[in-house]
Structure 1
Amino acid sequence: MNAPYDFRPTHVAPGDGMQTWAGPDPSSPSIRLDPLLPVQLVDASGNWGRIVCSNGWSAWVDGRLLVPLPQRPPGTGQPLGTEEDPRPLLAALERSLASYRRLLDDLAEGTIDLETFRDGTRDLRLGAVVDGSSAWLLDLDQGRWYYCDGTRLQTYATVEPGERR
């Protein structure tokens, strides 16, 4: 099992999450992974893939469903540009996370019910993987995953229109 500091995501779970298994055997189902959860693919056997999560937990999944994260793009050494500045996207992600946290707190305190919580979070989508100075940021409004090396954002994957909710 990997220690948390060894974790290097190679994939994320699909947008609707995914089933896991204790072994490469469909008769031994385990828990379901959250949508867009970063994972590290560490082994493969046919269509099966063994993944490790950031907390060291490991399971087998249908490896064909994993969404790969590309290798880090090379840095450019260029200063921040208006369109390449990662801070506006980070601010939007922070607002979305804060909104989710407020709704979760309200639900835990009993000031809202589960239906109100679900209604409030229905259109909420965010994704971020931070690994030292590198970050992968999901902007579903633009339909893109971005890579950030600390100096700029670089598009590295787009979300197909059919995949967006």
Structure 2
Amino acid sequence: MKHHQMAAAALVFLAAGCAGTPAYGPAEGSGFGYREQAIETTRYRVSYKAKSPIEAEDGALRRAAELTRQKGFDHFTVTARNVDRERSASPRSSVGIGGSTGGRRSGVGLGVSVPLGGSGSESATARLEIVMGNGAKPDDPRSYDAAAVLSNLGS
């Protein structure tokens, strides 16, 4: 019986961990995911919102590579890049004072509440501006081979 209970608890724990990270895809209701905007025929802005800066950057690079291939190009160069970290408001510290009397005794109590983390949520948005091209990838550390990015960061 204990074995089945432990297995059930492990499955619940794993499911809870997976529920926290949104799947890769277009941004919808929660805002997590990718968005893109055409600037010119070969120039796009791509953004990706995720739970961490690394997930956000990987998601933005993956989407840039997908978009590059969809538009018929081989590589892209990142001409501008930034990552914004966001933290939702968490409960504030509070102090409470109370008192009581009963029979011959009375008392005063003091309570303090201090948030110790984990009560707010974090997210990050990576934004890239890219220029797409064909042929050999430029010898520039800001340039990426779209097929290689998809091979490494794709599903």
TM-score (norm 2): 0.21
TM-score (norm 1): 0.20
Richer in helix (by share):
2
Richer in strand (by share):
2
